[in-house]
Amino acid sequence: MTESTDRVARIQGEWRRERPDLDVTPQGIIGRLHRLAAHLTEELLAVYARHGLSEGEFDVLASLRRAGPPYHRAPGELAQHTMVTTGAMTKRIDRLVAAGLVERSIGPDDGRRRIVALTVAGLAVIDAAFTDHIANERRLVEQLSLSDRAALEPILTRWLQGYESGGDGGALDRLG
């Protein structure tokens, strides 16, 4: 598919025909990002599945691994790091405990504090999964030229910051 004949371009063309009063140019960016995100997610999930993990389970193990030795965090911290509710986090932790990849225990400094820690098996799984994940991400971005990658990352960073810094997404005006 060439840039001018992809699905998004065809949809834009139909809207231009049916609603010439509207500028459908934004649909070219948003539509392609949406479709690309779906394809990329599919590629990422395939790697997690090879390691017996869901996306959420991978996120929990990765968050624990990034914490550094002794690879533990409180459940609330895990929820913040993975941006899910505490209820969803409890379910993820339950599955990972059942699989022997994490364990729950009492915090070393405070007997009231609960922590979740990687087991030896969990450390091995996340190290292998993350190695494959990074190789997969490298493969995916290598479809772009070095100059395209260099240009795209700061653009996406600024756009995302417009949403995640408490803004309303208005960062588009500042992308220049």
Residue 167: predicted pLDDT: 54
Buried b / exposed e along 122-135 (16+ C-beta atoms within 10 A): bbebbeebbeebee
Side chain identity, residue 93: I
Whether residues 43 and 60 share a domain: the answer is no
Structure tokens at 112: 């009231």
Average pLDDT over residues 133-148: 97
Query: CA nearest 75: which of 62, 65, 60, 56?
Result: 60
Whether residues 158 and 174 share a domain: the answer is yes
Whether residues 35 and 64 share a domain: the answer is no
- Here the CATH number for the domain that contains residue 111 is 1.10.10.10
156 in any annotated domain: yes
90 in any annotated domain: yes
Whether residues 73 and 115 share a domain: the answer is yes
Reply yes or no on whether the pLDDT at 170 is more than 50: no
What is the full DSSP assignment across 88-143? Answer: HHHHHHHHHHHTTSEEEEE-SS-TT-EEEEE-HHHHHHHHHHHHHHHHHHHHHHTT
Whether residues 115 and 175 share a domain: the answer is no
Cis, peptide link before residue 70, omega less than 30° from 0: yes
Which residue in the block uniquely carries the two structure tokens 């997690």? 48
Reply yes or no on whether the pLDDT at 165 is more than 90: no
Residue 174: predicted pLDDT: 41
7 in any annotated domain: yes
Split at pLDDT 50, 70, 90, the class of 86 is confident
Give how many domains the chain has, as a whole number. Answer: 3
Average pLDDT over residues 69-76: 93
Q: Which is higher by pLDDT, 3 or 49?
A: 49
Query: CA nearest 62: which of 157, 133, 120?
Result: 133
Average pLDDT over residues 123-152: 98
Whether residues 72 and 116 share a domain: the answer is yes
Range of the domain at 45: 1-50
Split at pLDDT 50, 70, 90, the class of 176 is very low
Average pLDDT over residues 104-111: 78
Reply yes or no on whether the pLDDT at 108 is more than 80: no
Tell me whether residue 20 is exposed, middle or buried, using C-beta atoms within 10 angstroms of its C-beta: 0 to 12, 13 to 18, 19 or more: exposed
138 in any annotated domain: no
136 in any annotated domain: no
How many C-beta neighbours within 10 Å does residue 89 have? 22
29 in any annotated domain: yes
Whether residues 45 and 70 share a domain: the answer is no
Reply yes or no on whether the pLDDT at 2 is more than 80: no
**Mean pLDDT score across all residues of the chain:** 90
Residue 115: predicted pLDDT: 94
